[in-house]
Amino acid sequence: MREFAAVIIAFLIIPILSKKKTPIGIAICISAVFMALLGGLGISGLLDAIIDTFVNFDKLQQFIVIIEISILGALLRRYKIIDKVIEYLTKIVRSNRVTLMFIPALVGFLSVPGGAIISAPFVDRLGEEADLPKNRRAIINLIFRHIAMHIMPYTTSFLLVASLAPQISIYKLIGLNCIFVVFYILSGYLLYVRQVKTEVGPPKTDIMQNLLNLLKYTAPVYVSVLLNLIFGIPFYIGMLGNLAIVYLLNPEKSFFSDAVRAININVLYSLLGVYLIQGIVGQMESLTGFFNIIFSNPKTILFGIIGSSFFLGLTTGFQATSLGVVLPLLMSLPISENRLLLYCHMTFAWGFVGYFFSPLHLCQLFTCEYLKVSIQDLYKDYYKFILCLVAILISTYFVLGLWLK
């Protein structure tokens, strides 16, 4: 009970500090300290989380990637590459609504934490032209940025499923996720994009040339993905290729000094705070013990999946956490392969919902930081989308449950 209370109190500290103009990254780090102390882990538990963060090579890679992403986002705007992308995209796609959704969806294929900071400048520019308020621009960027993670088989979550539950077909899981994605996109469109005044662009001409130009100026976004898919090059190295292309497109003498000035220290504080909280929650043994009790009862298993997946996604700001905790519990249950597939889909989706609306969600933090939107202003308009996703998941469970027995 003490650990649950510690997590809740620590999270309440974040909006309080944010309201007092404390940078969100610092607020998260302070929250992590309170969580460790109130949860009974003490200074030693906090030090363990700090040490694990800085000796874990995977986490260090993410720090490097986040630095590279913050530089890339700033340079795309400074060198007006964003303007070029929008220019050629509007010559191919005539609807400004489609353009507003397409750009963050494209960036979503860049499977790195906080990648929404790359599409934020694009959406900001388009949203300004459409006279959208800042919080709506942030929400649109976040919603459509996260489509790819439900359907791309090389994302962290799918790799974790393949590792922990090899008997679950990744492509069947993607198929179930696609049902969720369809309603997810429709909800985002109806709630936030439909209000954008429709502006039909000029008739399409020279489509092939415009397409080649679009591929050229979006290369700083997708090259690292291709390098990873084709050659297995890690993103922290592949992102250097993205930056090199920016230089080739704009060989400015001040490129390196511009890159250094583009580094956002508060973004690094945010990432550090998120990793500390992940490590602290992982040390709270009573939380995992409680989940074991819930999953052992067939009458409470669905509530266990929903509650634990949402809670873990919310408290760690990382979707894969819920899969890492819940899947081993599901694997131990005497259930059919179809039912295991359904439960895995529910774990995936509910973990995503918790992660998506988490105050530790890096894409949310970085988008709000870039657009200068407060967390409070974001959530004032965010709750409608939360309710839609909850309704979608409850409905699809009962429909799919008739088929997957």
pLDDT per residue as tens digits for the range 26-54: 877 888 888 888 888 888 888 888 888 78
* Residues 6 or more apart whose Cβ sits within 8 Å of residue 67: 263, 268
359 band by pLDDT with thresholds 50, 70 and 90: confident
User: Which range has highest mean pLDDT (125-129, 166-170, 179-183, 202-206)?
Assistant: 179-183
The full length of the chain comes to 405
DSSP annotation of 95 reads B
Q: Which two tokens stand for residue 170?
A: 């990744």
**Per-residue pLDDT for 99 more than 80?**
yes
Beta carbons of 260 and 295 less than 8 angstroms apart: no
190-196 contacts: CB < 8 A, separation 24 or more? Answer: 191/384, 191/385, 191/388, 192/136, 192/139, 192/140, 192/143, 192/385, 193/97, 193/100, 193/101, 193/140, 194/97, 195/132, 195/136, 196/96, 196/97, 196/100, 196/130, 196/132
Query: Residue 200: beta bridge partners?
Result: 95
| Overall pTM > 0.85 | no
Instruction: For residue 384, give the H/E element and its range.
Output: helix 375-403
185 band by pLDDT with thresholds 50, 70 and 90: very high
* Residues 6 or more apart whose Cβ sits within 8 Å of residue 369: 24, 117, 264, 266, 267, 270
Q: Which two tokens stand for residue 11?
A: 């999270």
Over range 316-338, report the average pLDDT.
77
Rounded Cα gap, residues 7 and 148, in angstroms: 30
Q: Which residues of 51-69 are buried (b: 16+ CB within 10 A; e: fewer)?
A: ebbeeeeebeebbebbbbb
Hey, CA dihedral for 19, 24, 26, 28, is it positive or negative? positive
Q: What angle do CA 385, 389, 339 make, to 5 degrees?
A: 170
Q: What angle do CA 164, 174, 242 make, to 5 degrees?
A: 90
pLDDT for residue 113:
58
DSSP annotation of 251 reads -
Beta carbons of 141 and 107 less than 8 angstroms apart: no
Q: Which one, of 182, 195, 187, 171, lies nearest residue 147 by Cα?
A: 182
Query: Residue 167: beta bridge partners?
Result: none
pLDDT for residue 389:
93
Between 340 and 405, the higher pLDDT residue:
340
Give the count of beta carbons closer than 10 Å to the beta carbon of residue 335.
Answer: 16
Q: What angle do CA 89, 94, 99 make, to 5 degrees?
A: 50
